[in-house]
Amino acid sequence: MRPNTTTLEDQVKECAYSLGFDIVRITGPEPFASDEKAALKRIDDGHMNGYSWYTKERVHKMNHPKLLLESARSVISLAVSYLTTDPDVSTSKTGKVARYAWGDDYHNVLKSKLREFCLKLERITGKKVNSRIFVDDGPMNDRAAARRSGVGWFGKNTNILTSTHGSWVFLSQVITDVYLKPDAPLKKTCGNCVSCIDDCPTGAIIAPYVIDNEKCISYLTIELRGIVPRELRPLVGDWIFGCDICQDVCPVNRKALKARYTSFKQRPGFSTPDLVEILNMDQTDFSRKYKNSPIKRTKLVGLKRNACIALGNNGDIDALAPLINVLRTEESLIRIHAAWAIGHIGGKDAVAALECALRLEEDLDAIDEINLAIKEAKANLV
Buried b (16+ CB within 10 A) or exposed e, 123-135: ebbeeebebbbbb
Q: Are strands 169-176 and 160-161 parallel, antiparallel or unpaired?
A: unpaired
Give dist(CA 294, CA 308) in Å, integer. Answer: 20
Give dist(CA 131, CA 174) in Å, integer. Answer: 6
Residues tagged active-site: 136
Question: DSSP string spanning 57-117?
Answer: HHHHHHT-HHHH-TT--EEEEEEEE---SPPPPP-TTB-EE-GGGSSS-HHHHHHHHHHHH
Question: DSSP string spanning 228-245?
Answer: PPTTTHHHHTTEEE---H
The angle at the Cα of 53, spanning 48 to 54, to the nearest 5 degrees, equals 40
Specify the long-range contacts of residues 107-115, CB closer than 8 Å, at least 24 apart: 107/135, 107/136, 107/137, 107/294, 108/292, 109/261, 109/263, 109/264, 110/80, 110/135, 110/170, 110/172, 111/135, 113/19, 113/20, 113/21, 114/78, 114/172, 114/174
Number of Cβ within 10 Å of residue 203's Cβ equals 13
Under the phi-then-psi rule, with left for phi > 0, alpha for psi from -120 to 50, and beta for the rest, what region is 269?
left
Q: Which of 145, 131, 161 is nearest to 68 (CA)?
A: 131
Give dist(CA 214, CA 136) in Å, integer. Answer: 20
